[in-house]
Each structure stands twice: as C-alpha cells, then as structure tokens.
Structure 1
C-alpha cells in the first residue's frame, strides 16, 4: 500500500467513528415517502457476495461478516485485494470495494449475510470465492419499504423497528411480499447515535 494512503485511511477511519461515510458506493434507487420515517425504494439488479450461517442473530452476523471479509481480502481464485475499510479506501491495483449496506436476512435459525458489490462488477468479472460457503449471486431488481433508525442494532432493536415498519405498511394498505432484512451502513465502532441502520421489507409494486 502506498504511504500516501495511510493518513487518508486514518482520517476516514476517524470520520467513520461519527458516521461520516466517505467514498462508499450505495446501490442506486428511486424513492417515495410513505411517512416521516418510512419510504418506498425501487432498486435495480445488484450483485452480492453472500453466506448463510446457522446461529443466533448476532453471532451469525459476526461469522458471516468474517467469511465475506475473507473473500474480499483476497480469499478468491485470483487472490484479488479488496478494500474493506469503513468507509472504503481504494488502493492501487485492481481492487474491489464493498458497498453499503451490509444486509442480514433471518429464516428461522439461519441468517443470510450479504455484501453488495460495486456496480462496475458483474458475475463474469468478479473472482470466484475460495470458501465454498461464500457464493456470488445476482439480486434482482426489487421494491422495498424502508424504515431508518440509529443506535442499538441488536435482535430486540431490529425486531422492534421491524414491527414498527409493518404497522405503518398495514395502516397505509401496502402489501408485503417477503421477509424483512436488516441493513447496516456503519462499522461497530461508530458512535451508536451516529449509526445508520435500516429495516427493509419487499412490497407489492
């Protein structure tokens, strides 16, 4: 890594402490407000690296994060380096930066964790993961209702905000078509009141 990148990464790491994200790509979407806290977003197709973990919610998130981080740190067939700071810093060479958010979906006792890939990559150009438990997938375009929140992102907080989102949708006659996901935009060291977290649930278009 070039020496000039060190102070830049230090500054960006400090900024992430207070929830300032520099240079992190987010998937493009169109949005419509439902209430002060809820909006409908329309996303196009995206590419994600994902893994499924059979564990409680927080432990699954940690295990899944490590697996996916292993992939983007070079655990792939081309040994490609992937910038994985928060926010992401592009280094010299052909690198892959993780985008925001990190998504977690729960199905019974299992969680699926996703890192979304930057838009310049396709399934054909991304390196194949070394770990058989990490897979690359194309996420089709979708319409989701989203509620944002800060602070705690443990299981109780996620469930409470999920219930809040579903109640708003029921009150507005909006039909859901799938299970809720938790989306996280900041690293664990970000001050809780500066964290950007979201609950997203697919809805009828």
Structure 2
C-alpha cells in the first residue's frame, strides 16, 4: 500500500533561502506510447544524491529532506547551490532501485528509508560538488522504461491504489512485464489547489 506522499516545500525552501522564483526542471524522457492518461516513457541515466534514514516514513522523509536540502543549498565542499527539480516520488518497497527524476525519492529499506534527490541534468558525477555530510552519497541510476498513469487531486492512498490497479491492467493488456515496484510522483507543493495538482503512478518495465 502506498504511504502518504509528502511534498516538503522545495519552492518555499528556495524562497526562504533567498533563491529567485524560477521554473523547476522536470526530467527529460522519450514517449514510446501514449493512450489517454496512460503512457510508456524511456528515461535516461540520472545522477542522484541519497541518504539512508531510520524511523517512520514521515519522520524519515523530513530528516532525509533536510539533509539533502542542506547539500544542494551549499552544504558541500564548494559551498555551491544546486537547483531543485520536480517531481517528488516515493516508492514503498525494499527494492533500492529508483529510476525517476525527482528532487526527493524515498525507498524503504530494512530499518529505514533511502531518500533521494535527482540532480539537474547539467550535472554529472564529475561536476557535482562533494557533500560535506558523509551520510550523503552520489550515484547514477541507469536508464529505465516506465508505464505511467496521470491523475489530478490529492493522491490519497486509496486513489493511488486504484490508479496503480488501473495501470497494471493496462500493462497486462499490452502484454508487458513489470520490473519493480510502483512509485508515486507528485509535481506540486501542498498549497496547490487540489484539482490543479498533477500526480503520476509509475511502474518500471522490463525491456
């Protein structure tokens, strides 16, 4: 069952830290197939910053976000600011593989969670500054293909479960095979009017 998704105010954080308002980068992808609200997308390799955090989901999300936000807002060897991206994604599973561009991704592990920010496309492993906090690790997620369903609203757990079921039926109709656990992607901060919120359920596919 999907846990309650949390957007931790990346735009608000940037404002509080004095960053000017600007468009938030979203991941580049290639659309392989589109069928109404459903689609299949190919995502490239993505560079991520991640941290393992113990505790319950909400507390771990907050703690992980604070650590990673500290890194991108100057907590690194160059004291360099790194722009945030969207969406936020969460995957309630013990599988540590995440291949979705996002500022924050959260994956459950034994005893805690892995929280991830995807780095802007202008960065590589070679050009990213080294984190000051040794708990933060940089790595590359490999290219991946996803089945996706878009929907609006608050993305309550029951809504996400229903959309996941719809997406799985669509995948089966296309005779495709899942390669991992579903994830929830949310593109808007919590103060966005509910009917204007943009959400997606994403399921990785086998080649």
TM class, shorter-chain normalised?
Answer: 0.7 to 0.9
> 1:124: which partner in 2?
126
> 2:62: which partner in 1?
62
Higher Rg: 1
> 2:90: which partner in 1?
104
- Relative to the length of structure 2, the TM-score reads 0.73
Q: Secondary structure at the match of 1:193?
A: helix
Q: Which segment drifts farther, 135-144 or 166-175?
A: 166-175
- Describe the shift of the 1:182–1:134 C-alpha distance in structure 2 as closer, same or farther (beyond 3 A): farther
CA-CA distance at 1:158 after TM superposition: 3.1
- Describe the shift of the 1:134–1:151 C-alpha distance in structure 2 as closer, same or farther (beyond 3 A): farther
What CA distance in whole angstroms lies between the structure 2 residues aligned with 1:36 and 1:73?
38
What CA distance in whole angstroms lies between the structure 1 residues aligned with 2:174 and 2:23?
36
Matching of residue 134 in structure 1 with residue 127 in structure 2: no
Q: Which segment drifts farther, 152-161 or 131-140?
A: 152-161
> 1:23: which partner in 2?
23
- Relative to the length of structure 1, the TM-score reads 0.73
Matching of residue 179 in structure 1 with residue 181 in structure 2: yes
CA-CA distance at 1:160 after TM superposition: 3.2
- Describe the shift of the 1:55–1:201 C-alpha distance in structure 2 as closer, same or farther (beyond 3 A): farther
What CA distance in whole angstroms lies between the structure 1 residues aligned with 2:199 and 2:114?
17
CA-CA distance at 1:187 after TM superposition: 1.6
User: Unpaired segments of 5 or more residues in structure 2?
Assistant: 1-14, 95-107
> 2:205: which partner in 1?
203
CA-CA distance at 1:142 after TM superposition: 0.9
What CA distance in whole angstroms lies between the structure 2 residues aligned with 1:192 and 1:11?
25
What CA distance in whole angstroms lies between the structure 1 residues aligned with 2:177 and 2:91?
19
Q: Which segment drifts farther, 109-118 or 164-173?
A: 109-118
What CA distance in whole angstroms lies between the structure 2 residues aligned with 1:131 and 1:112?
15
> 2:41: which partner in 1?
41
Q: Secondary structure at the match of 2:35?
A: coil
What CA distance in whole angstroms lies between the structure 1 residues aligned with 2:66 and 2:163?
26
Deviations 1:142-200 (A, max 9, x none): 11111112222344443332232222212321110111122222222222211222111
User: Unpaired segments of 5 or more residues in structure 1?
Assistant: 1-5, 13-21, 82-95
- Answer yes or no: is the 8 Å Cα contact 1:153–1:197 preserved in 2: yes
Matching of residue 170 in structure 1 with residue 172 in structure 2: yes
CA-CA distance at 1:201 after TM superposition: 1.3
Deviations 1:117-151 (A, max 9, x none): 11111111111222233221111111111111222
- Answer yes or no: is the 8 Å Cα contact 1:49–1:134 preserved in 2: yes
Q: Secondary structure at the match of 1:39?
A: strand
